[in-house]
Amino acid sequence: MERDRAQPAESTKSDLENVKVIEWEEFEQEIVRLWSLSSAFSEAQEKKQSLQRKLEFLIEVEAESLRRSNELEEMQQKLEARKMVMGNMSRHSMLAVENTKKKEEQLSIELRSLLVAGTSLSVARKRLEESNQLLSRDKGYVRLKSLQKMLRRRQQHMISQVSLLYPVKFTMGPAQEQELESFPNTSRSGNSARFKPANQGTLTILGLHLTMLPFKMMSFFTDKKEVQKSATALGYVGHAVLLIASYLKVPLRYPLRLGGSHSYIIDYGPSVEPTSSDVSSNTVVSTDVKHVEFPLFLDGQDTTRAAYAVFLLNKDLEQLLNYIGVKSLGPRNVLANLKELVRTIQSVDYMDT
């Protein structure tokens, strides 16, 4: 307590020491100075408040600017994202437009084809109606039969020209090996009296024999002229078969590529090349259909391929014979089948088929 009392006494003493004594003469000046100081202080306070208000306003403006800057940045990011989306949509739209154009072109082509097909269908339907009307009449069937007879008469005439161009005849005298046996009494049902007179000759086409010996025993000592004659005879047969098939409107199973004595016959059989694993596992092997040409001559060719070519040529003759309702005379009778084909077409019975 005594210390507490002593401290205020000491402070009062120090304050008294700091008190400035102003003379009366200087009092007025001091009052003016204090007044100016008070005015300056007031102005400083006002300036402080004004600056404080300005700072607060600037802080608010800066905060608002920062907020708006952040919003603008977000909006820019959204804008960039939408630009990317719009670019993708634009590309997709361009692709869709191109696909639409392509599909429109395809549809226009298909529409044109449909129009052409519709026109063809309408024409065919009109012809069918006309044909039905003709057949429905009393003389329609008779007219049809008449047209068929005219067609067969025309076929007979054209094939007679072929027989004059490539005549198949008998010649008397020995030959190296007869290519065939002749069956002159063959009927349309295929029944025949299979006989061969002792004095009967061999068949020739345009005076040439078709002998099979060169196809079996081709060697260095084989008569080259005989080989050439056989190739020429096969060329004649091939041309005759091709002409007859075209007149009968029959597509040959084995087409011919004519070249005179160097003609070829084409086989469109499937080519199968199984592997050992396929054979062992009994799996189904895929086949590729491609054509193979076989020579109807022996000059520089394999005898097996040439013999197979003659076999295919006889198959074409068999196809034509079956088309007109006649059986083949056998796989080795090329000239006999050709003669039988021409004879049957030129017969009177052919008009009634």
Q: Where are the domains of the chain?
A: 28-136, 169-275+285-352
Two structure tokens written together for 236: 């004649």
Report the pLDDT value the prediction gives residue 81, as an integer from 0 to 100. 92
Quote the pLDDT of residue 88: 92
Residue 350's pLDDT is: 81
Specify whether the CB–CB gap between 208 and 225 falls below 8 A.
no
User: 265: which residues sit within 8 A by CB, 6+ positions away?
Assistant: 238, 254, 255, 256, 257, 293, 294, 296, 309, 312, 313, 316
* pLDDT score for 9: 56
Beta-carbon contacts of 223 under 8 Å, excluding residues fewer than 6 positions away, are: 214
* Rg of the chain in Å (alpha carbons): 59
Residues 6+ apart with CB under 8 A from 326: 186, 188, 190, 340, 341, 344
pLDDT at 18: 65
What torsion, rounded to 10 degrees, do the Cα atoms 109, 114, 115, 120 define?
Answer: 130
In order along the chain (353 residues), what is the average pLDDT of each group of 10 residues?
54 61 72 83 88 90 91 93 92 92 92 92 90 69 79 89 88 48 40 38 79 53 72 90 92 90 83 46 50 83 84 92 88 87 88 71
Look at residue 16 in the predicted model and tell me its pLDDT: 56
φ, ψ of residue 332 in degrees (nearest 5)? -105, 0
Q: What local confidence, expressed as pLDDT, does residue 111 receive? A: 92
- At the topology level, CATH places domain 169-275+285-352 in Actin-binding Protein, T-fimbrin; domain 1 (1.10.418)
